[in-house]
Amino acid sequence: SPSLVWFRDDLRVADNPALHVALERGGPIMGLYVLEESGGIRPLGGAARWWLHGSLASLADELRARGSTLVLRRGDPATVVPAVVDELGAGAVFWNRRYGGIERGIDAGIKAALRAHGTEVASFSASLLFEPWTVQTGSGTPYAVFTPFWRACRSLPAPRAPQPAPDTIPGPSAIPRSDDLAAWELRPAHPDWAEGLAELWEPGEPAATARLAQFLADDLADYDRARDEPAAESTARLSPRLRWGELSPHQVWHAAVQHREADASRFLSELGWREFAWHTLFHFPDLATKNWRAEFDAFPWPRLNRDHLAAWQRGRTGVALVDAGMRELWRTGFMHNRVRMVTASFLVKNLLIDWRHGEEWFWDTLVDADAASNAFNWQWVAGSGADAAPYFRIFNPERQRDRFDPNAEYIRRWAPEHLAADPPAPIVDLAGTRRQALDAYDAVTHAR
């Protein structure tokens, strides 16, 4: 009987354990993607939807080229998946695991229901290097600090080697109905705000594989030195690839180690931060909405100043590095990590706006927005998260600009008016708001 492979955040044919096991089982294989828009799943942001369209189109091509098919459906997977199993006459369903709380509940329910009907079901580890339940402190609790977390990960057996893409994937003879991808309208029509995204990115596994090779050849050797300079564009830019699973972290890990065994460790530890964020979400599913440190619930946020929030979103704060970063984000769906930290710190600690407003904006505008990394890093900057920056560490955006964009290349690219003789003035006084933030944080720490 045919096997059904339910694709989710693993839009690739290489190193895909669910697909691999379906091939080992033998018989025809069909791929399924379900656009989930209910059941408590957080709706995708605009930039993410744009990416998903391209990545699904590419996955459909990759499957077709090998003899198989991708069927698209939208709705509640608890009804859609069993229905497609019936239509296909599938004897087995395979998927790779997800780690969000709601997603885990959905998947467990579907697994139980299918098994009750005699369908074989199995799920696999594919999106993380280490399963969250395998990394624990000596007393059996999750790690709250990165360094010992990563040391514990590195003491486990090395991540498994990736599997190559199969040459052929036998498809079923009768294919159930599929939605038309274009009819999902994941990409904007009028106005098409996504032009800048299309200029920079080509979603899909082949482009992801090419980017990994290019990064290793051109930039990995100098990664430790150049990674903090936004103008250099020398980081991997693999985050949307990992977000959508066009590459597995295993592929990235092993490719980096093979390329430069001796000095890949800084880069590998960045993959470690991704693991840490996902493990934290696994243990604390409310990461995007609740302070990880409960004492921050008492933070005396002033009334939301919507003008300030809008100025930040549009890159009109009058602070050069913040404006440049926010415009890069709007135009390209991406922002360099250093600038993400500076723009986030400015929102929380100079505009005194709750980190959740920033998290939401990034969720809507980043092509790599994922449930763990976005919330985790926002909480890191806000000081409310696991192993967070201490509250008194407030980035000075002007000093950050001098240090990491000394030749003003990044500012020139994204916010050149700041280089004019009469640059825009900041919408808030940096020193005054910094003091205000420190007072507010004091209130939180003393309330403990």
Question: Which residues of this chain interact with ligand FAD, rule CB under 6 A?
Answer: 227, 235-239, 242-243, 270-271, 273-274, 277, 337, 340-341, 344, 362, 366, 368-370, 373-374, 377-378, 381
* Catalytic residue (choose from 244, 278, 363, 378): 378
- Look up 378 and say whether it is catalytic: yes
Residues 6+ apart with CB under 8 A from 116: none
Q: Which residue has the tokens 């050849």?
A: 217
- Look up 312 and say whether it is catalytic: no
* Catalytic residue (choose from 355, 363, 380, 414): 355
Report the nearest approach of ligand FAD to the CB of residue 371 (Å): 8
Show the tokens assigned to 427. Answer: 């919408």
Report the nearest approach of ligand FAD to the CB of residue 72 (Å): 25
Q: Report the residue number, 132 or 171, with the smaller CB distance to ligand FAD.
A: 132
Alpha-carbon distance 103 to 143, whole Å?
23
Report the nearest approach of ligand FAD to the CB of residue 28 (Å): 34
With beta carbons less than 8 A apart as the criterion, state whether 162 and 15 touch.
Answer: yes
Report the nearest approach of ligand FAD to the CB of residue 374 (Å): 3
Alpha-carbon distance 235 to 327, whole Å?
19
Q: Report the residue number, 3 or 127, with the smaller CB distance to ligand FAD.
A: 127
* Catalytic residue (choose from 270, 360, 396, 409): 270
Report the nearest approach of ligand FAD to the CB of residue 340 (Å): 4
- Look up 51 and say whether it is catalytic: no
* Catalytic residue (choose from 337, 360, 396, 409): 337
Q: Report the residue number, 3 or 377, with the smaller CB distance to ligand FAD.
A: 377
Report the nearest approach of ligand FAD to the CB of residue 85 (Å): 32
Report the nearest approach of ligand FAD to the CB of residue 360 (Å): 12
With beta carbons less than 8 A apart as the criterion, state whether 10 and 36 touch.
Answer: no
According to DSSP, the residues that pair with 95 across neighbouring strands are 6, 123
Amino acid identity, residue 218? D
The whole-angstrom distance between residue 27's C-alpha and the CA centroid of its chain comes to 34
What is the SS3 assignment for 421? coil
Alpha-carbon distance 361 to 45, whole Å?
9
Task: Tell me the backbone φ, ψ of residue 72, rounded to 5 degrees.
Answer: -110, 130
Q: Report the residue number, 264 or 366, with the smaller CB distance to ligand FAD.
A: 366
Q: Report the residue number, 68 or 239, with the smaller CB distance to ligand FAD.
A: 239
Q: Report the residue number, 31 or 162, with the smaller CB distance to ligand FAD.
A: 162
Alpha-carbon distance 242 to 370, whole Å?
10
Task: Tell me the backbone φ, ψ of residue 303, rounded to 5 degrees.
Answer: -60, 140
How is 195-264 classified by DSSP, letter by letter?
A: HHHHHH---SHHHHHHHHHHHHHHTGGGHHHHTT-GGG--S---HHHHHTTSS-HHHHHHHHHHH-TTT-
- Look up 95 and say whether it is catalytic: no
- Which of 370, 349, 171, 154 has the alpha carbon at shortest distance from 264? 154
Report the nearest approach of ligand FAD to the CB of residue 22 (Å): 27
Classify residue 335 as exposed, middle or buried by CB count within 10 Å of its CB (0-12, 13-18, 19+).
Answer: buried
Report the nearest approach of ligand FAD to the CB of residue 441 (Å): 18
According to DSSP, the residues that pair with 31 across neighbouring strands are 5, 70
Q: Report the residue number, 179 or 270, with the smaller CB distance to ligand FAD.
A: 270
The whole-angstrom distance between residue 445's C-alpha and the CA centroid of its chain comes to 31
Q: Report the residue number, 69 or 239, with the smaller CB distance to ligand FAD.
A: 239
Q: Report the residue number, 73 or 331, with the smaller CB distance to ligand FAD.
A: 331
E strand spans, 8-84: 29-35, 70-74
- Which of 76, 79, 89 has the alpha carbon at shortest distance from 30? 89
- Look up 150 and say whether it is catalytic: no
How is 21-34 classified by DSSP, letter by letter?
A: HHHHH-S-EEEEEE
Provide the annotated active-site residues: 270, 273, 301, 337, 355, 378
